[in-house]
Amino acid sequence: MPGVRLALAQLNATVGDLPGNERKIADAIAAAKEAGAQLVLFPELAITGYPPEDLLFKEHFLAAARAAVDRLAALTDGIAAVIGFPERDDDVYNAAAVCSGGEVVGVYRKLRLPNYGVFDELRYFQSGTEPMVVEVDGVPVGITICEDIWVPGAPLTEEALAGARLVVNLSASPFSAGKAMQRERMLAQRARDSLCAVAFCALVGGQDELVFDGSSVVLDHRGRPIARAPQMAEHLLVCDVDTDAPAAARLKDSRPRATLRVERPRVTHLPPIRTGATITSPSPEHRVGGELFEPLEELSEVYAALVLGTRDYVEKNGFGQVTFGLSGGIDSALVALVAVDALGADRVKPVTMPSRYSSAGTRSDAERLAENLGCELLTLPIAEPMDAFDAVLAETFASRDADLTEENLQARIRGNLLMALSNKFGWLVLTCGNKSEMSTGYSTLYGDSAGGFAVIKDVPKTLVYRLVEHRAHRDPQNPVPEEIVTRPPSAELRHEQRDDDSLPPYDVLDPILEGYVEEDLGRDQLVALGLPAADVERVIRLVDLAEYKRRQMPPGIKITPRAFGRDRRLPIVNRYGG
């Protein structure tokens, strides 16, 4: 029995862009044929982008998606293709069209629908019921979609038992730090458990709060990666798979046989496909496997996700330039670095908006950073509007001391100025708040949080520092003035202000937040981890109280296992403390 040459089209689809996505898929089919592939794979819902959310409630959207799949199927002459799309039949299914010889020869329906974290698939889809195997040039191939493979058992196990030598998975798997390798380890275990090769073809690109990191990979039946696409970029990964080896391995490894004895779903077998592709692999002339890109290490991976998420939000929404307040602090420095790497310096328009509380140090650091990055820096002082607001409010506030009100006013004047630039020039406003601030409400609603995209909203402050240092030292000529990293953090909204007047030090705060926000630990559990009880209680209260602010924050890139937004859904009216 021969092997098979695969092409995995790791595409950056855009939600709702049916013509654009169709074009990309058509191009990839052509390129895969050119590369001699017998089977080309596409990501989950490649035709619509992922997640299409409530677009799936529109009959005309579903009909248009289906029409695109039929047109693409017509291109599958001399190759088989598996394309993710929403299938409208008696109900709606998250499906994969198996196309060959110019037509759709079968449709696989995702069995396992995720409805946790950022996923709401049970809102939209009916589950499929049958695993599916299709023979491509004599090689039995099992089909699965994303979540199907995250849970042991059906459909993968059934497909392997029904003879599949290779199981393919069409995926749209959102990034969080370290997830790509965790995912690959899981896939390796599935391959080993069922003694079949696994080809994982993933979406790449930013979509609102999510980044899809790609990380498509092919593993042999022993779980060893034999081809891997780069992370965070489009790629057509071509790979030759030895499909005799899994069959041979099963002769001597009887573990999967035991599974045969329990009651299992029926497996659909499609009619065999003959692609007539010119190359049947592996052949003596070429090796099993394909390109094998190294996975990114921890900080590079997160940084690359921020760059990709920012670039795609800007470009997919059709913006030319971005703007933001460059304060001379660490947060806006990170946003500046990311924005320049994402878009190029000429599309990045930082603004310094000094007040009487801005130190000479932060101002000159902002200027040096902008200069080092090659960005033009606008200066808009806020003293005049501050005085004007003070005058309007003087009578009403006559008997009251200055307090947070006046600090917030400064932040809101800055927000207004950035929004005015946005209105006048069409620039997208980026915000610079980090996750530690987002969690504790240490920000001004409509002030520093005003903008269209919150680049680092899911990045804890301690990680902000690490990312800036990482990026700074990647450059032979470090563009980041040393003081930006070493100066104690301050909002500079009153004299001598420091973040740690209001918050625990960040190396205490961030572990509390990780436990409370990402792991749902309670007060007692956090204290048992060795965190200071008084800080734990204060932070829990701050996080709970800030829910109303977070509800009005712009979207930003998820990089942790639980971001704010659709990933963490808490009521505003909530009297439960902790």
Active site residue 22: no
Q: Is 58 in the site for a copy of itself (CB under 8 A)?
A: yes
One symbol per residue from 180 to 209: x for binding a copy of itself (CB under 8 A), - otherwise; what is it? --------------------------xxx-
Q: Is 515 in the site for a copy of itself (CB under 8 A)?
A: no
- DSSP reduced 3-state for 249: helix
The binding track of 5-34 with respect to a copy of itself, each residue x by CB under 8 A or -, is ---------xxxxx-x--------------
Residue 7 or 411: the one with the smaller Cβ distance to a copy of itself is 411
Which of 466/562 has CB closer to a copy of itself?
A: 562
> 29 and 222 in contact (C-beta within 8 Å)?
no
Q: 1 or 570, CB closer to a copy of itself?
A: 570
Give yes or no: 110 in active site.
Answer: yes
For residue 482, give every residue at least 6 positions away whose Cβ sits within 8 Å of its Cβ, in sequence order, or none.
Answer: none
Closest distance between a copy of itself and the C-beta of residue 49, in Å? 8
For a copy of itself, the binding residue among 74, 292, 299, 419 (CB under 8 A) is 419
Report the nearest approach of a copy of itself to the CB of residue 17 (Å): 4
Q: Which of 106, 290, 385, 504 binds a copy of itself (CB under 8 A)?
A: 385
Among 252, 262, 360, 400, binds a copy of itself (CB under 8 A): 400
CB-based contacts of 147, cutoff 8 Å, min separation 6: 110, 112, 113, 114, 119, 121
| Closest approach of a copy of itself to the CB of residue 458, in Å | 16
393 scored as a contact of a copy of itself (CB under 8 A): yes
User: Which region among 139-147, 227-235, 326-334, 377-385 touches a copy of itself (by CB under 8 A)?
Assistant: 377-385
Only one of the segments 93-101, 115-123, 323-331, 357-365 lies at the binding site for a copy of itself (rule: CB under 8 A); that segment is 115-123
Look at the alpha carbons of 231, 331, 526, 441 in this order and tell me if their dihedral is positive or negative: negative
Residue 129 vs 317, nearer CB to a copy of itself: 317
Q: Cβ closer to a copy of itself: 53 or 537?
A: 53
Q: Tell whether residue 120 is a contact of a copy of itself (CB under 8 A).
A: yes
Of the listed 24, 33, 110, 435, which one is catalytic? 110
Tell whether residue 487 is a contact of a copy of itself (CB under 8 A): no
Q: Which is nearer to a copy of itself, 222 or 568 (CB)?
A: 568
Judged by CB under 8 A, which stretch of 31-39, 113-121, 160-168, 218-226 contacts a copy of itself? 113-121
Tell me the C-alpha distance between 166 and 184, whole Å.
16
Q: At what angle do helices 18-34 and 59-73 cross, to 10 degrees?
A: 20
Strands (E), 146-292: 166-171, 197-202, 204-207, 210-213, 217-219, 225-228, 235-241, 268-269, 289-290
Give the interface size with a copy of itself as a residue count (CB under 8 A): 82
Query: What is the amino acid identity at position 525?
Result: Q
x-marked contacts with a copy of itself along 439-478 as a string, rule CB under 8 A: ------xx---x-x--------------------------
20-37 burial: b if 16+ Cβ within 10 Å, else e: ebbebbeebbeebbebbb
How many Å apart are CA 36 and CA 152, to the nearest integer? 33
**Residue of 22, 24, 33, 44 marked catalytic:** 44
Instruction: Identify any residues that bridge with 205 across adjacent strands, giving them in sequence order.
Output: 212
DSSP β-ladder status, 322-325 and 428-431:
parallel
Q: Residue 382, class by beta-carbon neighbours within 10 Å (0-12 exposed, 13-18 middle, 19+ buried)?
A: buried
Q: At which residue do the structure tokens 């391959």 appear? A: 191
The answer for residues whose C-beta is within 8 angstroms of residue 142's C-beta and 6 or more apart is 131, 132, 133, 155, 156, 159, 160, 162, 164, 166, 167, 168, 196
**Residues 256, 508: Cα–Cα separation, whole Å:** 48
Q: In the annotation, is 44 catalytic?
A: yes
Single out the residue of 234, 46, 32 nearest to residue 146, CA to CA.
Answer: 46
Q: Which is nearer to a copy of itself, 3 or 354 (CB)?
A: 354
Q: Which of 90, 251, 396, 495 binds a copy of itself (CB under 8 A)?
A: 396
Q: Whose Cβ is closer to a copy of itself: residue 32's or residue 454's? A: 454
Q: Looking only at residues 209 through 238 of this chain, which bind a copy of itself when binding is defined by CB under 8 A?
A: none
Segments of 434-541 assigned E as strands:
453-454
Among 24, 135, 146, 549, the one annotated catalytic: 146
- Interface positions, 539-578, toward a copy of itself (CB under 8 A): 548, 551-555, 568-576, 578
What is d(CA 132, CA 269) in angstroms, rounded to the nearest whole number? 6
Q: Which residues are catalytic?
A: 44, 110, 146
